[in-house]
């Protein structure tokens, strides 16, 4: 089965082979994937890190030898810190914006440049792969005010489970894509007062379906994506919105994964 690497800041992954189809997730730069089926305009893919499937525009796929993709998959990669960095590619000298959670394998001696296929890429500005990783608090706060976008995984638009997936990736832990999958992991935290930094809080609707997830920040606070990425109060009832003076989400369970 053919494989490839995402070489764009992000690629929309859709539910069907149409630009009008729902975006279910996004590939970020450095994500690898299998190409299950391909035609002139669309490709059905399976993302390696979370096994999510969907359709992308086939014009965005870079044809690469299997060995290069395999080496990229197996390598220890640098995860781009939130919110984003700039990068320049050669020989076209174009600028790319990589959102936090993108991944890079420095396949040479220079820790500020790397190659994919026939292109060379260079980190721009003051960013360096040698800088220490940011804390969970810094990673989560870096996404604050990013707009909510169904299926989004980047600073330019992100959904609730995309936010928790990316923050956990920055912390070195892979999560499934959807809140309904993430809730199956970890150990139950019995009382909201016992929630620690990095615990995940899950919320349900009237039918009992998990519809929302957020990142506990400790001291009764939660960061989550609802309209925008925001910090709100969390108690045993759910998320309290200070602006509307009401509860926006009903708490179902808190899980400790990290």
CA 182/CA 82 separation, integer angstroms: 21
CB 149 within 8 A of CB 160: no
Strands 153-154 and 32-38: unpaired
Residue 93: HSE in the Cβ half-sphere, 13 Å Cα cutoff:
0
Three-state SS at 231: strand
Neighbouring CB atoms inside 10 A of 165's CB total 27
Identify the pLDDT of residue 146.
97
State CA 242 to chain mean position distance. Answer: 27
Identify the pLDDT of residue 110.
79
CB 226 within 8 A of CB 159: no
All structural domains of the chain, each given as residue ranges with its CATH number in brackets, are 3-123 (2.30.30.40), 136-256 (3.90.1720.10)
Identify the pLDDT of residue 40.
82
CA 101/CA 170 separation, integer angstroms: 6
Strands 200-204 and 246-256: antiparallel
Identify the pLDDT of residue 166.
97
Q: What is the full per-residue pLDDT of the chain (258 aa) written as tens digits?
A: 899 999 999 999 999 999 999 999 999 999 999 999 998 899 999 999 999 999 999 999 999 999 999 999 999 999 999 899 999 998 889 999 999 999 999 988 778 899 999 999 999 876 667 666 678 999 999 999 999 999 999 999 999 999 999 999 999 999 999 999 999 999 999 999 999 999 999 999 999 999 999 999 999 999 999 999 999 999 999 999 999 999 999 999 999 999
Identify the pLDDT of residue 108.
81
């Amino acid at each position: 089965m053919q494989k490839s690497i995402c070489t764009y800041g992000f690629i929309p992954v859709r539910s069907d082979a149409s630009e009008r189809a729902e975006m279910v997730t996004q590939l970020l730069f450095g994500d690898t994937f299998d190409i299950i089926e391909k035609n002139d305009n669309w490709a059905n893919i399976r993302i390696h890190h979370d096994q999510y499937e969907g359709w992308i525009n086939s014009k965005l796929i870079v044809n690469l030898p299997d060995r290069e993709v395999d080496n990229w998959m197996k390598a220890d990669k640098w995860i781009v810190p939130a919110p984003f960095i700039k990068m320049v590619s050669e020989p076209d000298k174009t600028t790319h914006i990589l959102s936090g959670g993108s991944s890079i394998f420095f396949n040479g001696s220079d820790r500020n440049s790397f190659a994919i296929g026939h292109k060379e890429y260079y980190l721009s500005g003051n960013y360096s792969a040698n800088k220490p990783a940011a804390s969970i608090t810094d990673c989560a706060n870096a996404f604050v005010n990013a707009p909510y976008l169904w299926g989004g995984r980047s600073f330019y638009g992100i959904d609730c489970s995309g936010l928790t997936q990316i923050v956990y990736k920055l912390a070195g832990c892979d999560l499934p894509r959807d809140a309904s999958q993430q809730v199956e992991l970890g150990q139950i935290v019995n009382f909201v007062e016992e929630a620690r930094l990095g615990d995940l809080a899950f919320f349900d609707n009237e039918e009992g379906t998990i519809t929302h997830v957020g990142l506990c920040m400790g001291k009764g606070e939660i960061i989550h994506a609802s309209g925008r990425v925001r910090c709100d109060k969390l108690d045993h009832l759910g998320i309290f919105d200070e602006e509307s003076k009401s509860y926006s989400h009903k708490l179902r369970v808190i899980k400790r994964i990290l």
